[in-house]
Structure 1
């Protein structure tokens, strides 16, 4: 819901940083993979009971997630780069809730399973929409220039990162926060399905 507004604020500095990284020889795919490694490091710290320390690699991971596209725009965009980016994002999005479950299975197990199931459903509606949009030649740049169609939703990347920061700052609140955020993910996916019925019929 907030991604379009966030992009207007963060894209200009990210593009400047991306051009500098490209001149230094960085590749977009390399930045994407570095972001994934940092995100998995954040998840590892959470699983080891150091959720607040996880904020540092988490922030660096999300910075890399913004920079990979900026590097690509400064060098050469590729369909594979966009595909790798979304796959790494989903890997990270699943790893962090799983880490909270591993840190305290008795307290976080049910809520963690619920939010991961909601991610699965929401991600399916998102990627399925992108496939149909591509087939029909529908394009958007509301969330920035992307390799695939980013349909808007109640919850997007900005809200997800805010949720991750919240649960790292307040690890004891993971379970109630996960139940609420998971329910909103299901609602976001359901609203996307309803919107798709109008667009693709």
Structure 2
């Protein structure tokens, strides 16, 4: 697992030493950022269900200014800290060991908002519709922000959630799909 592009291109990242976390493959990460970026001029990201932190770190490498990482597994949190230390990114991030719903509630209380939100929960364990509705209710997504959902390819995601539209879904291999939501028209 490595950083694909940007400031930290080619740098290796540690993966979480447990079977409970499924890292986003380099191929999928590269394809996702080709669609949503590929580079950014500032902005803030939320990497919910962060695992090793690979998606948020990739966003930071490509120009996102700051990122909040959330995971409830202690081994994942430890790996995120190790990866952030390797790249000396500690001053651009916050890391929280908590579940997703508590994290969203806390972000709401702090009046945070994000230009990019990565949702990569354990496959078939969470409703993307419920997660995104909570994000919208708490006003955590900036206007013209993007939500990226990695999910099992067999899982259906809605075409619309609130004011967000599904703008793209791509399948990678037999098991992985990525769906991207934004305000606006379906393409």
What's the TM-score, normalizing by structure 2? 0.26
Larger RCO of the pair (alpha carbons < 8 Å, separation 6+): 1
Q: Which has the higher helix share?
A: 1
Larger radius of gyration: 1
Q: Which has the higher strand share?
A: 2
